[in-house]
Amino acid sequence: MHRIKGIIVGLMAIGACSVLQAQGVLRSGFGARDAGSAGAFGGTSEDALPALQTNPASLAWIPENQWELSLRGGWGRGVYGKGGTRSTMEVIGGFPEWAVAWKPQQGPLTLGLSAAPLAIGVMDWDYPDAAGGIGGISYGSSMAHDSGFSSWRVNAGLAWQPIENFSIGASLGAVYSRVDFDAPFIFQSNPALAGAKVDLDFDTEGWEAMTELGVSWKPVDDLTLGIRYRPQMNLNLSGRGEVDFSAQLPPLGLGGAPSYATYDVRTSHALPQVAGGGFSWEIGDRWKVGAWADWMGWKRAFDDLEVTLANGSNAVVNGAIGATVRDRVPIRWKNAWVVAVGTEWKLQENLSLRAGWRYGEPVVEDAWATPLNASLQEHALALGLGWKKGEWNWDVSYEYQFGDASKVGKSRYRAGEYDFSKIDISAHLVGVGVRRGF
């Protein structure tokens, strides 16, 4: 029964790890206008939504009291190949974003409120479960491999102008995060359980506080500079989980033991500290260019994953391992830079064209890639269009996310289930937004 403990604890941890990797790096580009230039103007923006979500000091440059609403959506496609088999996945989804900002009595302070997702990742595969685990077991020729991660932020921001062309900003908010997972997984880190497999299903969620600081400066009227810093945020999520280890028990000589157990599940991980900066430069009356770069400290934030299972429902398993078990699993993500460049061209007085490109360094090596964690698109090409009609400002955007396929030679996961495989994922995002002064 000692091996049952390793199966449950270890596979829970590996499963949670793969879900979190599905988010890739944090989102760039908030609102349809910002997304149309690939997020290049987010930290120097004169719009409420990207200012509050990227650099609160930029609230100072909003020309008037303003509200903004954006609807973003898209579809993603993935192809997974191994040993002559080929599986595809298509996912469709969407989300809203909103913000409001105002200057009390036109003084040195600007206030704002906003809500937007920081990260959304969904994997919804259906492919044969390769033989693996102890004894070369499989959970079926057609098996769901699903995972999801979402993190939503609601925050209040403040910008203060001590002098005319200089602003200091801060925001404070709450982040709601959720992790969903349902797939078979191979146990990785416990030496006593080398390569055991279970079918894992759990959901965890929770709230945490998040702060952000920023500075913005206009050395001349046509040039805006900005920097921001967001500390690492620890996420402690809780929920319920179920483990089916029925296929693994017979090879271990435990075929008569109960096959299922449910637990209270707690997962602990972190979103990284972020430090960034950039500029926007208005060249004449019609043309604007800009760039923004963020450094993300994934190595410290996601080097290990902690998992706790409590209040197990299976009396036989509890008698062997106790009602509460804990595990720490090495993840070893790498620090990464995300860089965006963009431009905006005023075609007419009330019509603007935007374009941008964004590059994010990969944080996972190919040797660690699986269909559930390979959604790390390195590149994004964006186009946008803005139209002003009276007091109303309308924006639309399109973004194509893509990157090099992950080509796994010898996988660093046990049992060889992902050896010599290939994962290729791309996504298309569209947005529509409206802004209005008040």
Instruction: Please give the Cα distance from 364 to 376 (Å, whole number).
Output: 8
258-285: average pLDDT? 91
What is the tally of structural domains in the chain? 1
Tell me, what's the pLDDT at 2?
A: 42
270 has pLDDT over 90: no
pLDDT-based confidence at residue 376 (cuts at 50, 70, 90) = low
Instruction: Please give the Cα distance from 367 to 137 (Å, whole number).
Output: 23
CATH number for the domain that contains residue 30: 2.40.160.60
Closest C-alpha among 327, 332, 317, 412 to residue 366: 412
47 has pLDDT over 70: yes
Per-residue pLDDT reduced to its tens digit, 166-175:
999 999 999 9
Name the residue with higher pLDDT: 119 or 43. 43
Tell me, what's the pLDDT at 342?
A: 98
Host domain of residue 176: 2-437
Instruction: Please give the Cα distance from 52 to 110 (Å, whole number).
Output: 11
Burial degree of 263 (CB within 10 A; 0-12, 13-18, 19+): buried
176 has pLDDT over 50: yes
Report the SS3 class of residue 414. Answer: helix
Tell me, what's the pLDDT at 294?
A: 96
Per-residue pLDDT reduced to its tens digit, 74-97:
988 999 998 888 899 988 889 999
User: CB under 8 Å to 420, separation ≥6 — which residues?
Assistant: 82, 83, 408, 409, 410
The share of the chain scoring above pLDDT 90, in percent, equals: 51
Tell me, what's the pLDDT at 372?
A: 76
316: enclosing H helix or E strand: helix 315-321
Q: Provide the b/e sequence for 244-261 (b: ≥16 CB within 10 Å).
A: ebbbbbebbebeebeeeb
Tell me, what's the pLDDT at 153?
A: 96
